[in-house]
């Protein structure tokens, strides 16, 4: 019998949808022109780039000229943060971010700190992974030039109060960038209503291909380009356009934003079933991130007395793909910076597991995962000297 394979790592990446592949295929084969070329081959694909830009802009209520194509989410984050920092360095050299940002944001901020004389404030989050608006307000200084706080966290799925952050930034005359890589397709995004200045997107989290993303930048903002060369993307990002990727991205956005509310409702039900099942059946398990203010498809747990990589590998041997913020998984020595920022002790943060739900996930899949997860946790706890010690101490108290 063929082994069951269940993918529950959609926050890492998603499979490309058939409609998306169908849309991009002609631009890998017959429509191969360089969009910068004057001839008909070039003009054909230039037109489709413009159409794609229109579709993406429309999906997030932006103007087409406010959408810049990039090589993915990390590049969009780099482009926004360094682009603003370098373009407005005369205005100030202070940046505010949070401790739970993606490394594309954190490492970019650290780079500016170490190499370009910027000062960065890293805001704490509460135990549920949410920043404090009061702390944000208090952190803004005269020389603050940019606030960069993600819309939704990639590990624990926590959704930040982006509209309120944008309001504060606007009042203080500070640019606000948000990494919406995990949010697009999961939360309604209206850049005008939210009031953000810059927003990062990527295609491979919404059933599009890897290597294509976009940055929304409100009209009128200056941006120092990271890549110099040709005049593509209105001189903000040189390089021959990834035409097939752009077409695919537009199709993926179109599909992902068709019914965000309906999609979110469906996935939240599955997610809640997963969370409720795990917490009711597995003792000493905890949910990381806010119970309600979280992405529809994200569930992140810690299992006390055991270690995350061992859980992850045990699931993988059963054909279940998940993720862990365990130090052992990343090859680093400390558990995920996100879990640490929640205030979890090291020994609990080491026992983390992220299960993310997507379009292929069924209730049966979740039940299979929980049934096996329960057995895995029992097995690993039987091996654990920490659990043994805990049980002995508990029995003495009875």
Partner 1 sequence: MYNEKVIEYFVHPRNAGVLVDADGIGEAGSPACGDEMKVYLKIENDVIVDVKFQTYGCASAIASSSMATEMIKGKTIQEALSVTNKDVINALGGLPAPKIHCSVLAEQTIKRAILDYAKKHNITIEGIDSKILEDDVHDHGHDEE
Q: Please report whether residue 394 would count as binding partner 1 according to CB under 8 A.
A: no
Q: Please report whether residue 155 would count as binding partner 1 according to CB under 8 A.
A: no
Q: Please report whether residue 384 would count as binding partner 1 according to CB under 8 A.
A: yes
Positions in 181-220 near partner 1 (CB under 8 A): none
- Minimum distance between the CB of residue 305 and partner 1, rounded to whole angstroms? 7
Number of residues that bind partner 1 (CB under 8 A): 26
Unique residue bearing structure tokens 């919406």? 180
Q: Please report whether residue 276 would count as binding partner 1 according to CB under 8 A.
A: no
Per-position DSSP letters for 269-284, written without gaps between them: HHHHHHHHHHHHHSTT
- Minimum distance between the CB of residue 381 and partner 1, rounded to whole angstroms? 9
Q: Please report whether residue 378 would count as binding partner 1 according to CB under 8 A.
A: no
**Is 328 in the active site?**
yes
Q: Please report whether residue 248 would count as binding partner 1 according to CB under 8 A.
A: no
Sign of the four-CA dihedral 34, 40, 43, 47: negative
- Minimum distance between the CB of residue 94 and partner 1, rounded to whole angstroms? 25
Distance CA 133, CA 144 (A): 16
Distance, CA of 160 to chain centre: 12
Is 240 flagged in the annotation as binding? yes
What are the C-alpha distances in Å from 204 to residues 12, 249, 260, 378?
9, 8, 17, 35
Q: Please report whether residue 307 would count as binding partner 1 according to CB under 8 A.
A: yes
Q: Please report whether residue 310 would count as binding partner 1 according to CB under 8 A.
A: yes
Distance CA 325, CA 138 (A): 31
Is 185 flagged in the annotation as binding? no
User: Which range, of 150-158, 206-214, 269-277, 344-352, touches partner 1 by CB under 8 A?
Assistant: 344-352
Is 257 flagged in the annotation as binding? no
Distance CA 368, CA 372 (A): 6
Q: Please report whether residue 382 would count as binding partner 1 according to CB under 8 A.
A: yes
Q: Please report whether residue 306 would count as binding partner 1 according to CB under 8 A.
A: yes
- Asked if 289 and 242 count as a contact pair (C-beta separation under 8 A), the reply is no
Neighbours of 124 (CB within 10 A): 13
Unique residue bearing structure tokens 């498809």? 297
Phi, psi (rounded to 5 degrees) for 321: -95, 120
Nearest Cα to 254, choosing from 314, 206, 221, 297?
Answer: 206
Question: Of 28, 328, 340, 386, which residue is the catalytic one?
Answer: 328
Residues that bind partner 1 (CB under 8 A): 305-307, 309-310, 313-314, 317, 326-328, 331, 333-335, 345-347, 350, 382-388
Show binding-site residues for [2Fe-2S] cluster.
328
Write out the catalytic residue numbers. 328
């Amino acid at each position: 019998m063929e082994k069951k394979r269940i993918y529950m790592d959609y926050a890492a990446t998603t499979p490309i949808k058939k409609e998306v592949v169908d849309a991009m295929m002609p631009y890998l084969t017959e429509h191969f022109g360089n969009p910068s070329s004057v001839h008909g081959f070039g003009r054909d694909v230039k037109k489709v780039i413009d159409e794609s830009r229109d579709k993406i802009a429309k999906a997030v209520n932006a103007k087409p000229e406010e959408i810049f194509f990039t090589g993915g989410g990390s590049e969009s984050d780099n482009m926004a943060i360094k682009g603003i920092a370098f373009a407005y360095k005369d205005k100030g050299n202070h940046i505010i971010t949070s401790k739970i940002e993606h490394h594309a944001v954190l490492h970019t901020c650290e780079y500016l700190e170490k190499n370009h004389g910027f000062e960065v404030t890293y805001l704490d989050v509460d135990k549920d992974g949410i920043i404090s608006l009061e702390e944000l307000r208090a952190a803004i200084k005269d020389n603050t030039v940019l606030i960069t706080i993600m819309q939704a966290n990639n590990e624990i799925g926590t959704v930040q109060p982006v509209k309120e952050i944008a309001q504060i930034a606007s009042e203080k005359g500070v640019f606000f960038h948000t990494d919406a890589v995990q949010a697009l397709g999961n939360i309604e995004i209206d850049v005008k209503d939210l009031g953000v200045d810059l927003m990062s997107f990527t295609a491979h989290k919404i059933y599009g291909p890897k290597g294509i993303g976009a940055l929304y930048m409100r009209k009128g903002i200056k941006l120092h380009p990271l890549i110099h060369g040709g005049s593509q993307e209105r001189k903000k990002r040189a390089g021959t356009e990834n035409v097939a990727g752009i077409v695919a991205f537009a199709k993926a956005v179109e599909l992902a934003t068709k019914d965000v509310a309906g999609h979110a409702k469906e996935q939240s039900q599955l997610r809640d079933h997963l969370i409720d099942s795990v917490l009711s059946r597995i003792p000493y398990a905890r949910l990381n991130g806010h119970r309600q203010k979280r992405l529809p498809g994200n569930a992140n747990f810690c299992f006390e007395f055991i270690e995350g990589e061992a859980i992850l590998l045990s699931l993988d041997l059963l054909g279940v793909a998940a993720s862990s913020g365990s130090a052992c998984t990343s090859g680093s020595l400390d558990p995920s910076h996100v879990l640490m920022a929640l205030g979890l002790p090291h020994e609990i943060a080491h026992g983390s597991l992220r299960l993310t739900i997507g379009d292929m996930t069924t209730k049966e899949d979740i039940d299979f995962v929980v049934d096996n997860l329960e057995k895995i946790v029992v097995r690993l706890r039987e091996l654990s000297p920490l659990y043994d010690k805990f049980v002995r101490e508990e029995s003495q108290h009875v």
